[in-house]
Chain A
Amino acid sequence: MPKKPRSQLQKLPLMAACGALAFNSITFPATGTNLDSYMNRRGPTEQPNVVLILADDLGFTDLGSYGSEISTPNIDRLAEQGVRFSNYHTSASCAPSRAMLLTGVDNHLAGVAGIPESIPPEQAGDENYQGALSNNVATMASILNEEGYHTYMVGKWHLGKTEENLPYNRGFERTLSMADTGADNWEHRPYLPMYDHAHWTRDGEEIRLEEPFYSSELLVDEMIGFIDSNLDDGQPIFAYVSFLAVHIPVQAPKEYTDMYMETYVDGWEALRDTRHAAAIDIGLVPDSDRVTHDFVDDWASLSEEEQRFEAKRMAVYAGMVTAMDYHVGRLINYLEEEGELDNTIFVVTSDNGAEYSSLTPGTIDRMGYTHNYEDLGEIGSTNYIDKNFANAATSPLSFFKFYAGEGGLRVPLIITGPGIDKQEDFNNAFAHVTDIAPTILAMAGIEQPQGRFGGREIEPMTGKDLTPILDGSSDEIYQADDYIGYEVAGNLALFNDGYKLVLNRGPLGDSEYYMFDFVNDPGETKDLKAENPVRFQHMLNLYQRYAEEDGVLPVPDHYSQEMEIALKMVQKQQGDAIIIYTLVGITMVVFALFGWQRKRLVN
C-alpha cells in the first residue's frame, strides 16, 4: 500500500518538538482557558485517539438513544457513556455540513456555499460557490496530522473531485473516499445519471472496488486496516468514518430489512406520532407541539398494496441504519481488543436531517435499477424514502434535508471518551457543526491555528470549543449576543439567544420569514414575529450582517435547488446526446456525399 510521505517535522521528532514549540509561540497564541481546563481534567495522559463517525442523512430521531424504534445498540452504548446533545445544529445539505465539520469555518468562507450539483450559473463564478473546499481553510485532519496524529478517512467526501481537493491531499494519510453525493452501496456504480461513474479513490488514486460489497462493511473493514497498519508506533489516531448510510440509494442486506417488515405498516403519521411521544418521554424535546405539513400525504388514502410497498421502503431505511450500527460496533470492538478504546474519543453525528427523494421510473430504468417490492434495497435495486417518511424520521421537527426547518438542521450529536463526563440526560446546550473541529483539537490538546497554516493564510475557525460542556464545567457556550447564520440554496436561518429566524423557499417552503423559540418550540409551530417585532427586526439585521461578512449571494429569482439538480442531470444527458447525434450526422453526411459522387460517376 502506498504510504504518504511524512513531513520533515514528523521525520525528526526532536527537531519537531523544539521547532513546534517555537513556532507555536509565534503562530498559535493561547486562545483561552477551556483547553487548559479540559487537559488538566484528563491529566498528563497520552493524546487521545479520535473517531469521528458521520452518518449521511440520518434524521433527528433515527437512533435508539434518540427515541427511535430502529435498533442501534452500539451507538447507543456510546451515547450511554458520554453526552447526547439535543440542540445540535448542522447544515441542511451534505457538502456544506462536511466543509464546516472539518474546518470549523462557515461553509461560504470555505468555498462550499452549496452542493456543487445545485449551484446555479449566476453564482458559479464566485469563490465562495465553488462547491469544493477552498485553499483558504485547513481541515482538522491537516492540523492533527501536523501534530503527529495518524489521520485516516473512509467514505463519502463530497468536498471536491480534483486531485488537490481529495481527502488524501487535505490532511488524511490514508483514504478510501467517494467524491460524489452518493453511490451504490453494493456495486461500483453511480446512483444518478448526472455522474459518469462512482468516483471512488484510494490514497488519491481512482480505483474500482471489488464487487459485491456492502458500503458500511467495506468502510469499517478499510478503516480497521488503516488503523491496524500503524497501531504499534504510539502515534494517536484520527479516524473519520463517513458512512454512505442512509443516503439514497437506501439499500440494506435483507436480514436487516427483515427486522422491520412489520414495523411501519401503520404508516408515516403513526410513526411521527410515536417518535414525538418517545422524544418527549426521554427528554429529547420539551412537551411541545409539532407541525403537520400540508404536503404530507394521507396514509389511509393509499391502497393496501401501496401501503405495503411504502412500509417496506422504510424497513430498508431502518435496516440500513441498523447495519451501519452493526459495523460501528465492529470498529468499537476492534479498538477494545487492541486496548485503545479507553483512550478513544467518539463523535457520532449526521451531516443533515433525513432526506426525501423522488426518482422517476425513467431515471430508475436508465440507471439499470429495479424498484420492486421483493428485492427492494438489495443488489441491483434502488430505494429511497419520500417526503412522508422523511418527515417522520425527523419527528417532531419540521421539514427535512435541504430545508432550514429544524428537521433539516437539527441532528443527533454524541460525544464520548476519556475526560468526558457521562451525562444521564440530554444536554440542551446549543451546539453547531463548526464547533466540532475546535472541540476535537481541544480534546487532543492542540491549539487552533490563528490565521496561517501550512505556509498559507487561512480563515480562522469560528466554531466554539465544547469541552466545558463535555466536562460539565459549563451549561452553555453560546451567549446572548452570539449568533449563527445559515444559508444554502436560498433557504436560510439565524440562531440567536434561543430564537431562530427562518425562511424556506419552494417547492415545499413559502419564502416567508418566520421567527420561533427553537428551545421551547422545536417543532416550530408558533411564529413570534408579530408578537415580538423588535426582536424580529434585530434577527433580520443579524442575518444581513452574517450574509455580508460571509459572502452569501442571493439566489436567482425562481431558483429551486431540486430543479437545478434535475436540470444538471438533463444537461448532462442531453450534452452527451448532442455529441452522439452530431457524430452520427457527420457519418451520414459523409456516406451521402460518397453515394452522390458515386452515382454521378456511374451516370
Chain B
Amino acid sequence: MTLRKRISNLQWQEMFSLKSIGRYALSIFLILPGVLFLFLGFQWLVAPESGASALMMPLLAGAGLNSQISDIGGLFLGMGLLVMGAVTTRKGDLLFSVAVILSCIAVYRVLAFSLHDATLPMQSIALEVVLAIWFFVASRILSEEAPKDA
C-alpha cells in the first residue's frame, strides 16, 4: 500500500495548512543552529585545534586542554542537544534554556571587555544576541502550541 493511500484527505489538508508549514519552517530554523552547535561540540572533541582556532584562542595543554575541550565542547554539544530536543519534543522550555545560556555569554563578553580589556568580538556578540532572541521567540511559539498538541 502506498504512502499516499495510507494518508487520508484530512491528513493531507492538515499537512499543507499554513499552520503546518509554519511548524516545519520553525523546525528548520531551529535545526540549523542546532546542527551548528553540534558541529562545534564535536569539533572540540575531534579536532580541538580547529575549534580553538575558530574561537581565536590558543590550544592549551594538560589540565587546561582538558578544561577547554570539556567546558567549551560540552557547552556547544549541550546547546545542540537542547535545541534538537526542543524540535523533537516541541517543548519550549528547552529552547528557553539555550536562550539564557547565549544571553549570559553575550553579557560576559561585554563585561570581559569592560573589566579586563579583552577584545570585544562584535560579530560573535551579534550572532549570540540574534540567536538568543530567536530562541526566546521560538520557545514562546512552542509553548503556545504545546497544549493543543498534548
Chain A interface residues toward B at CB < 8 A: 187-190, 193, 195-197, 206-208, 211, 366-368, 573, 576, 579-581, 583-584, 587-588, 591-592, 594-595, 598, 602
Contacts and interface: CB of A to CB of B under 8 A. Distances in A.
A366 B43 contact: no
Interface of B: 35, 38-39, 42-43, 45-47, 49-50, 52-53, 56, 58-62, 80-81, 84-85, 87-89, 149
Contact of B84 (A208, A573, A583, A588): A588
Contact of B46 (A190, A207, A576): A576
Contacts, number: 64
Given A367-B53, A587-B38, A595-B87, A211 B46 contact: no
Contacts of B43: 576, 580
Nearest to A206: B61
9 shortest interchain CB distances as A-B pairs:
A208-B61, A595-B88, A576-B47, A583-B42, A368-B53, A591-B84, A580-B42, A584-B38, A579-B46
Contacts of A193: 50
B59 A189 contact: yes
A583 B87 contact: no
B149 A602 contact: yes
Nearest to B61: A208
A591 B37 CA distance: 15
Nearest to B55: A368
A584 B35 contact: yes
A196 B89 CA distance: 38
B49 A188 contact: no
Name which of B49, B56, B149 has the most chain A CB atoms within 10 A of its CB: B49
15 contacts: A196-B49, A206-B61, A208-B60, A573-B50, A576-B43, A576-B50, A580-B39, A580-B47, A583-B46, A584-B35, A588-B38, A595-B88, A595-B89, A598-B88, A598-B89
A367 B53 CA distance: 6
B78 to A, nearest CB: 12
A579 B39 CA distance: 10
A576 B39 CA distance: 11
Contacts of A197: 49, 59
Nearest to A597: B88
A588 B34 CA distance: 10
Contacts of B47: 196, 576, 580
Given A367-B53, A576-B50, A580-B43, 4 more contacts: A573-B50, A583-B42, A587-B84, A591-B87
Contacts of B58: 187-189, 211
Contacts of A368: 52-53, 56
Given A189-B58, A584-B42, A594 B50 contact: no
Contact of A208 (B46, B50, B62, B81): B62
B46 A587 contact: no
Contacts of A584: 35, 38-39, 42
Contacts of A211: 58
B68 to A, nearest CB: 12
Contacts of B46: 576, 579-580, 583
Contacts of B53: 366-368
A366 to B, nearest CB: 6
Contacts of A581: 39
